Amino acid sequence: MKLKNYLIIFIIVMASLTTIEGGIRLWGYFHRINHHQKPAIKDEVIRILCIGESTSAPYYVDGVDYSFPKILDDLLKNSFGTKNIEVINVSNPSITSSQIAQKLSNQIQTYSPQIVISMLGINDHDLKYYTDQRHSYDYWNEIKILKLARLIKTHLFPPKTLSTVDFGIDPISSMKNPLFKKILKSINRLDVKETLSLSEQLFQKYPSEKAALLRKIGEEYWFLPNKKKIVIPKALDLAFDYFQQAYNISSNDGLIIERYTHALHVRNQDGKCLEVFEKLFEKNKILGLNLETRLIACATENLAQPPHVARILKKLPFIIQDDAYHNTQNNYRYIQRLLSQNNIVHLAISYPRIELQHLQILFSNIEANAHSYPDDLELNVDNKPVAILPEFKDIIFVNNESNFNLLLKEKNYNDLFIDYSTSRFGHTTKLGHEIIARNIYKTIIPIIKNLRKERRYKALHTSS
């Protein structure tokens, strides 16, 4: 008798859940039809969300942001007015495609963008033996009841988020001071004593920025060999010392930890690197997860020491294996599906000097021979157009190969890039960012015009 009662209860519960699921899906279907399958328009502003890593994160020169999203924002506001366009840059250094995919849903709800610009995947390059299963496309995510439950949970118990301040900021006041330019010149000459003397003067003027300034000076030493295109062991040693001093002052600053742990990894001090992360996870787990690129780089070198590594890795929801390329592909496809569901235009941007096919293959049925995107990919398409899968046909691709290669015929590499973060390109200079911004600008202008035309049409028919 009890078994029969349990069976009846089970059938009632399943029938109720099925009815609710069907009702939610029907409501969503008719809602999309009534709204012409366009995103909700809260105001007249066209919002453009930029997602990516250090290649698109804010790039400060003398306290001014010259990243391509900021330059694009200025260009578009000149064309459409300051009140009609807003470019929002949520890119972070050292972030992976998995983390970008994880954050995107909340960012869509927060900013309500009509366009998303993506340039991402390069940080997965360091993650050989690593893949993240958290954010791949999962059909469980399509169950509306579960989505509703997660939404209610999010509103009742808002998740902690990482602020810009937590991740670290540049020493803006110090960088605007004339002494900072003198420091840069002394670093270029490798005049260690003068650098120390000048930096001490800035420390006294801006004591609250000391840790950030130490990190900034360390970065200048770190990138000096790339700028001069010669090996300078002394510069790397000096950079490490500055990073270490900065960490000793501020052990909860994301930018400082990112630089310090990277330097530890390069110096084969991965054990110390893991200790830094272990302390960080005790104080700020959210920040630790946002720096997982560096953590994995240190951890994968220590796989032969499972007891030491396991103590830290057991706290993280990922697995280690040799498939970084498909991790990037799965996350990029997840991102497009999410944008498509929300009727958001997606501009996928190729990295400078990288063939557009590298990016397009991620959305095709071509089986790539690669460990990671984009550097390890071997193209076998003879520069022919890649057949994009129908599911991803709405993506608008922007090519940054020909424009950079053409300019390099008349300009030096250092005019466009500040380093060699990969074998073919690096982080771009102010000029490099401007080239990317103007390339996107040409593509995005007709898209914005069409969006504005659709809004006027909708406003006209709604009023009538």
* CATH code at position 392: 3.40.50.1110
Greatest CA span in the chain, whole angstroms? 89
304 and 331 co-located in one domain: no
Q: 43 in a domain, yes or no?
A: no
Query: Are residues 439 and 330 part of one domain?
Result: yes
pLDDT attached to residue 364: 92
pLDDT score, position 154: 60
| Structural domains counted in the chain | 4
Say how many Å lie between the first and final Cα of the chain, rounded.
64
Are residue 337 and residue 457 in the same domain, yes or no?
yes
Output the pLDDT for position 197. Answer: 94
* Inter-residue contact 107 to 162 (CB < 8 Å): no
Rg (CA), the chain: 24
Whole domain around residue 180: which residue ranges? 169-245
67 three-class SS: coil
**338 and 455 share one domain:** yes
**Domain final residue, candidates 245, 261, 294:** 245
Instruction: Judge if 273 and 228 occupy the same domain.
Output: no
Burial of 81 (0-12, 13-18, 19+ CB in 10 A): exposed
Residue 209 lies in a domain: yes
Strand pairing report for 85-89 and 64-65? unpaired
Q: Mapping DSSP to helix (H, G, I), strand (E, B) and coil, where does residue 428 land? A: strand
Question: Which residues of the chain have a pLDDT value below 70?
Answer: 1-2, 28-43, 125-147, 150-151, 153-167, 229, 293, 300-323, 369-371, 375-384, 456-464
Give residue 215's pLDDT: 94
Task: Report the pLDDT value the prediction gives residue 256, as an integer from 0 to 100.
Answer: 92
Q: Is residue 289 part of a domain?
A: yes
Please indicate, yes or no, if residue 40 is contained in any of the structural domains: no
In degrees, rounded to 5, the angle at the alpha carbon of residue 347 between the alpha carbons of residues 424 and 441 is 85
- At 43 the pLDDT is 57
Q: What is the pLDDT of residue 410?
A: 92
| Residues 329, 457 within the same domain | yes
Q: pLDDT value at position 368?
A: 73
Q: Are residues 241 and 261 in the same domain?
A: no
* Pair 76, 126 in one domain: yes
Choose one of 266, 297, 316: the last residue of a domain: 316
Distant-in-sequence, close-in-space partners of 227: CB < 8 Å, separation ≥ 6: 188, 414, 418, 419
Clarify whether residues 453 and 335 are in a common domain.
Answer: yes
**Domain final position from 222, 245, 268:** 245
Q: Hunting for tokens 């400060």 — which residue is that?
A: 60
Do residues 57 and 85 both lie within one domain?
A: yes
Residue 325 has what pLDDT? 81
Q: What pLDDT, on the 0 to 100 scale, is given for residue 149?
A: 73
Average pLDDT, the chain: 81
b/e 294-316 (16+ beta carbons within 10 angstroms → b): bbbbbbbbbeeeeebbeebbeeb
In a domain, 39, yes or no: no
CB 328 within 8 A of CB 95: no
